[in-house]
């Protein structure tokens, strides 16, 4: 009798199992960047499929190339079954449609990696990516450790598994993941190194002594300690001492949901899913939350962060922004709780007076109006004391004086002649700098000019992106509009910059909730004394704009009272739109450039009626199952009380419906007695209820099978005893009472 048949172990199988175990141990490092364990089971299936096919191929004496090819097929098959079975042939075999679905899923993982803040939810795209990576790693480990018999080399491959989550996490990965990875690698060294010295089939005791003996335990412990120490070094590589903006191509914002420190005419600001970022308390009026400002315009790449200084300590009282001498405005105390936001930029409202609670090492640059950190740290809840400027249009029209700001905010480099000519034409009739800014703002928001908000830009015509947008495409999102307006302002000598941050979000009780949908870009123009003031050229139609009062007043001046007959019309305000022509309907004001603000819907009589009808229909639909159940119950009780033919069967159907309402589904193959026994056990009926159920089964069997069924005058009391026992021992929750499951066609146990 061969060793194979006497309980001996196949040593190559031991080595293969150790390799798969080492890969799974290394995959524990993903626990540091994935928020839940949904990825674990698919990863287990994928690794076992690759390792299992390797074992099968070697048992059948396939060549190494054949084993690798079979493992690649197994990997593809595993991914298909796990993530694209709906498009696969018979749910198993890959088809072109399944490959397209897998490709789409893996492509979606790129956006989750780029925008997610670790730990992120293990959604299917990330699960598929993790399984693909671990499947390839499992194949390489199996090939190196078992096929080539050099398990030590697999350490380089397993190290790559740790390097990916270590580079994404901003904290050290869980210590146990390094210890587990070290132990798995030590076991692989023991098994992979010995399987060539072992016989083809080896005694289990010798295999166990080699794998779990003193030497292997020492190696495993040492490997675990080294892995923990190495892990702390890998994860500790951060951004300590680097200044945001000094090396934007390296720092450039985080890979989290925080915004990148540049905006481009070709960029995209949309997200595949909505993520809650902040909860804000104390905000008295909708206002933009500024994260950063951009002062450099490059015609090829758009607006970029440049010139950020070391600034001042943000925890101390903050100076007025550079070039601002008028500190008048509405004081507010605002509390901000970051939820899904992590970035080196701390968003602030208005003009910050003080910021506290966010921790140490935060700086404030008065020139850029930015609060930032040079260290890699969490964004904690913080409190702002801010002033929201409230200049009037006339005060901004009369703003004069020197401009003590960096000349870079006036730099017109890279602006084409046709763009400069457009700005001149738009503002040539405007008497003040403020009116010129308003005229350019109105150019974008006036529907007559053909601009519209869209998350995708118009196709390129081969010209520069700015000219494409202004003269041909006229379609884009906030980055396009803010970038274009700031360029037009600079071309006529008005200092401007692009601000990046968030709109005010939506109201949730006493809090404002700001999500990724509220990410926004707008324009800030400089006025001597008053400093940087907000303008927004984006024609949003979803009510997210929060225009300052001076801009809203300038864009939509109040209509003067109708003059008396024969009285001349008053002259229009500078920069105001022309009055309506004769014959225009007085109850239809011109709203071509009026942005969609948050407004309460206009009350209409028919809307209340429609609401009432809809509410009545909804209530009727919701109550239908309960009504059906009560009508059916009443009809059955009447039939039982009157002793009609088939009363026992009627009572039995009522009992089954009572159990169905509690989530029980009878099996068609059970007899009445089997069903009764299961019901008594499952719902723990008391003695009275169990005895009553037995009496009912006896009456049902007599009615079904006796040659001459006799009427049973006690059925009503029997049924009442059963239902009373159910109410005491198996009460239904509110959902089951309001929406009884038995309102569907009843389950019949007898034809």
pLDDT digits (tens, 9 = 90+) for 412-456: 888 889 999 999 999 999 999 999 999 999 999 998 998 988 765
H or E stretch covering 303: strand 302-304
3-state SS assignment for residue 749 = coil
3-state secondary structure 143-177: HHHHHCCCHHHHHHHHHHHHHHHHHHCCCCCCHHH
Query: For residue 210, what pLDDT is reported?
Result: 52
- Tell me if the pTM is above 0.75: no
The widest CA-to-CA distance across the chain, in whole angstroms, is 123
482-526 per-position pLDDT tens digit: 999 999 999 999 999 999 999 988 888 899 999 888 888 999 999
The residues, ordered by sequence, that sit 6+ positions from 514 with a Cβ below 8 Å of its Cβ are: 276, 277, 278, 279, 280, 289, 502, 503, 504, 505
Query: For residue 387, what pLDDT is reported?
Result: 92
474 vs 183, higher pLDDT? 474
612-650 per-position pLDDT tens digit: 545 555 555 566 777 777 888 888 888 888 888 888 888
To 5 degrees, how large is the angle CA 284–CA 286–CA 291?
110
Q: What is the per-residue burial (b if ≥16 Cβ within 10 Å, else e) of 53-87?
A: bbbebbeeebeeeebbebbeebbbbbbbbbbbeeb
Query: For residue 166, what pLDDT is reported?
Result: 64
Query: For residue 4, what pLDDT is reported?
Result: 46
Query: For residue 599, what pLDDT is reported?
Result: 35
Instruction: Mention the CATH class of domain 407-499+521-555.
Output: alpha beta
Mean pLDDT estimate for the chain: 76
Please state, for a pLDDT cut of 90, what percent of the chain lies above it.
Answer: 21
3-state SS assignment for residue 534 = strand
- Please, are residues 57 and 136 in contact by the beta-carbon 8 Å criterion? no
Query: For residue 382, what pLDDT is reported?
Result: 95
Return the closest-CA partner of residue 141 out of 133, 151, 132, 128.
Answer: 151
What tokens appear for 246 in the block? 């000094």
Paired sense of beta strands 302-304 and 348-349, if any: unpaired
CA gap 163, 693 in Å, rounded: 65
Mean pLDDT of 717-730: 85
User: Residue 248: pLDDT above 50?
Assistant: no
User: Residue 225: pLDDT above 80?
Assistant: no
Give the total residue count for the chain. 751
- Please, are residues 135 and 115 in contact by the beta-carbon 8 Å criterion? no
87-144 per-position pLDDT tens digit: 778 777 888 888 888 888 887 776 666 555 566 777 788 888 889 988 998 999 888 8
Query: For residue 151, what pLDDT is reported?
Result: 74
The residues, ordered by sequence, that sit 6+ positions from 267 with a Cβ below 8 Å of its Cβ are: 302, 479
User: Residue 561: pLDDT above 50?
Assistant: yes
- Break the chain into its structural domains and give their ranges: 7-235, 262-390, 407-499+521-555, 616-743
- Please, are residues 699 and 712 in contact by the beta-carbon 8 Å criterion? yes
3-state secondary structure 350-405: CEEEEEECCCCCEEEECCCCEEEECCCCCCCCEEEEEEECCCCHHHHHCCCCCCCC
Question: Would you say the C-alpha torsion 742, 747, 750, 751 has a positive or negative sign?
Answer: positive
352-374 per-position pLDDT tens digit: 999 999 888 899 999 999 999 87
Other C-beta atoms lying within 10 Å of the C-beta of residue 514: 25
663 vs 592, higher pLDDT? 663
Query: For residue 264, what pLDDT is reported?
Result: 41
Model confidence band, residue 59 (pLDDT cutoffs 50, 70, 90) = confident
The residues, ordered by sequence, that sit 6+ positions from 580 with a Cβ below 8 Å of its Cβ are: 589, 590
Long-range contacts for 714-721 (Cβ within 8 Å, ≥24 apart)? 715/640, 715/643, 715/647, 715/648, 715/651, 716/637, 716/640, 716/641, 718/651, 718/692, 719/637, 719/640, 719/651, 719/654, 719/655, 719/692, 721/688, 721/689, 721/691, 721/692
CA gap 95, 726 in Å, rounded: 53
CA gap 742, 739 in Å, rounded: 9
User: Residue 689: pLDDT above 90?
Assistant: no
Kindly report which listed range (156-170, 325-339, 380-394) carries the lowest average pLDDT score. 156-170
What is the end-to-end Cα distance of the chain in Å, rounded? 61
Question: Would you say the C-alpha torsion 679, 681, 682, 686 has a positive or negative sign?
Answer: positive
What tokens appear for 416 in the block? 């084409």
Query: For residue 460, what pLDDT is reported?
Result: 47
Of 238-242, 325-329, 542-546, 595-599, where does the model show the most confidence? 325-329
Kindly report which listed range (49-58, 178-187, 490-499) carries the lowest average pLDDT score. 178-187
Other C-beta atoms lying within 10 Å of the C-beta of residue 616: 10
CA gap 201, 448 in Å, rounded: 84
User: Residue 196: pLDDT above 50?
Assistant: no
- Please, are residues 457 and 526 in contact by the beta-carbon 8 Å criterion? no
Kindly report which listed range (102-116, 276-290, 703-717) carries the lowest average pLDDT score. 102-116
User: Residue 573: pLDDT above 70?
Assistant: no
User: Residue 8: pLDDT above 70?
Assistant: no
Question: Cα dihedral angle (51, 56, 61, 62), rounded to 10 degrees?
Answer: -70
Mean pLDDT of 48-71: 89
H or E stretch covering 100: helix 96-115
User: How far, rounded to the nearest angstrom, does the alpha carbon of residue 88 sit from its chain's CA centroid?
Assistant: 28
Angle of helix 64-83 versus helix 124-142 axis, rounded to 10: 170
The phi, psi pair for 624, rounded to 5°, reads: -60, -45
248 vs 152, higher pLDDT? 152
User: Residue 214: pLDDT above 90?
Assistant: no
């Amino acid at each position: 009798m061969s060793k194979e048949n006497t309980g001996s172990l196949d040593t190559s199988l031991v080595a293969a199992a150790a390799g798969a175990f080492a890969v799974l141990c290394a995959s524990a490092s993903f626990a540091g960047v994935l928020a839940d364990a949904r990825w674990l089971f698919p990863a287990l299936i994928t690794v076992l499929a690759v390792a299992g096919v390797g074992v099968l191929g070697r048992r059948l004496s396939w060549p190494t190339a054949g084993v690798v090819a079979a493992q690649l097929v197994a990997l593809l098959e595993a991914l298909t079954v796990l993530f694209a079975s709906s498009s696969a042939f018979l749910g198993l075999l890959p088809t072109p449609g399944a490959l397209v679905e897998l490709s789409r899923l893996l492509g979606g993982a790129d956006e989750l990696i780029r925008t997610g803040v670790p730990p992120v939810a293990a959604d299917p795209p990330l699960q598929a990516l993790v399984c693909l990576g671990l499947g390839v790693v499992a194949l390489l480990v199996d090939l190196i450790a078992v096929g080539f018999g050099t398990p030590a080399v697999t350490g380089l491959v397993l190290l790559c598994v740790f390097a990916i989550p270590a580079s994404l996490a901003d904290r050290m990965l869980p210590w146990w993941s390094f210890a587990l990875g070290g132990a798995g690698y030590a076991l692989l060294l023991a098994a992979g190194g010995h399987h060539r010295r072992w016989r083809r089939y080896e005694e289990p005791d010798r295999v166990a002594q080699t794998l779990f003996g003193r030497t292997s335990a020492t190696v495993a412990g040492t490997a675990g300690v080294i892995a923990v120490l190495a892990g702390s070094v890998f994860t500790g590589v951060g951004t300590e001492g680097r200044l945001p903006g000094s090396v934007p191509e390296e720092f450039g914002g985080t890979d989290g949901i925080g915004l990148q420190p540049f905006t481009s005419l070709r960029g995209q600001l949309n997200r595949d899913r909505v993520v809650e970022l902040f909860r804000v308390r104390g905000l008295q009026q909708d206002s933009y939350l500024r994260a950063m400002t951009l002062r450099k315009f490059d015609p090829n790449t758009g607006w970029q962060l440049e010139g950020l200084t070391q600034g001042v300590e943000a925890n101390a009282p903050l100076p007025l922004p550079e070039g601002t001498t008028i500190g008048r405005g509405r004081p507010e105390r605002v509390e901000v709780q970051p939820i899904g936001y992590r970035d080196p930029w701390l968003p602030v409202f208005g003009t910050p007076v003080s910021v506290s609670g966010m921790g140490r090492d935060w700086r404030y640059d008065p020139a850029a109006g930015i609060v930032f950190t040079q260290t890699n740290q969490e964004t904690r809840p913080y409190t702002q004391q801010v002033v929201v400027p409230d200049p009037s249009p006339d005060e901004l029209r009369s703003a004069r004086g020197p401009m003590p700001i960096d000349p870079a905010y006036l730099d017109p480099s890279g602006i084409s002649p046709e763009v400069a000519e457009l700005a001149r034409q738009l503002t040539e009739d405007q008497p003040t700098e403020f009116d010129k800014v308003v005229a350019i703002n109105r150019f974008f928001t006036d529907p007559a000019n053909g601009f519209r908000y869209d998350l995708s830009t118009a196709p390129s015509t081969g010209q520069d992106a700015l000219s494409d947008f202004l003269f041909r495409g006229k379609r884009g999102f906030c980055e396009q509009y803010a970038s274009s307006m700031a360029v037009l302002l600079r071309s006529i000598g008005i200092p401007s910059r692009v601000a990046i941050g968030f709109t005010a979000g939506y109201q949730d009780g006493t809090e404002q909730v700001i999500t990724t949908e509220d990410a926004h870009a707008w324009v800030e123009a400089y006025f001597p004394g008053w400093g940087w003031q907000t303008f927004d050229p984006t024609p949003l139609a979803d009510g997210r704009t929060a225009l300052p009062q001076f801009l809203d007043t300038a864009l939509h001046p109040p209509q003067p009272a109708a003059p008396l007959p024969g009285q001349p019309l008053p002259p229009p305000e500078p920069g105001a739109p022309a009055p309506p022509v004769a014959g225009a309907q007085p109850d239809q004001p011109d709203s071509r450039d009026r942005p969609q603000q948050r407004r309460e819907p206009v009350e209409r009589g028919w809307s209340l009626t429609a609401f009432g009808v809809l509410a009545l229909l909804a209530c009727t639909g919701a109550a239908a199952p309960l009504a059906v159940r009560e009508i059916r119950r009443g009809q059955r009780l009447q039939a039982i009380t009157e002793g009609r033919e088939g009363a026992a069967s009627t009572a039995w159907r009522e009992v089954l419906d009572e159990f169905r309402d509690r989530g029980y589904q009878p099996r068609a193959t059970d007899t009445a007695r089997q069903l009764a026994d299961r019901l008594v056990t499952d719902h723990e009926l008391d003695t009275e209820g169990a005895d009553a159920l037995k009496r009912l089964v006896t009456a049902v069997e007599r009615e079904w099978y006796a040659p001459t069924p006799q009427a049973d005058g006690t059925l009503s009391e029997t049924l009442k005893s059963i239902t009373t026992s159910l109410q005491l021992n198996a009460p239904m929750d509110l959902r089951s009472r309001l929406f009884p499951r038995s309102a569907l066609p009843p389950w019949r146990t007898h034809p």
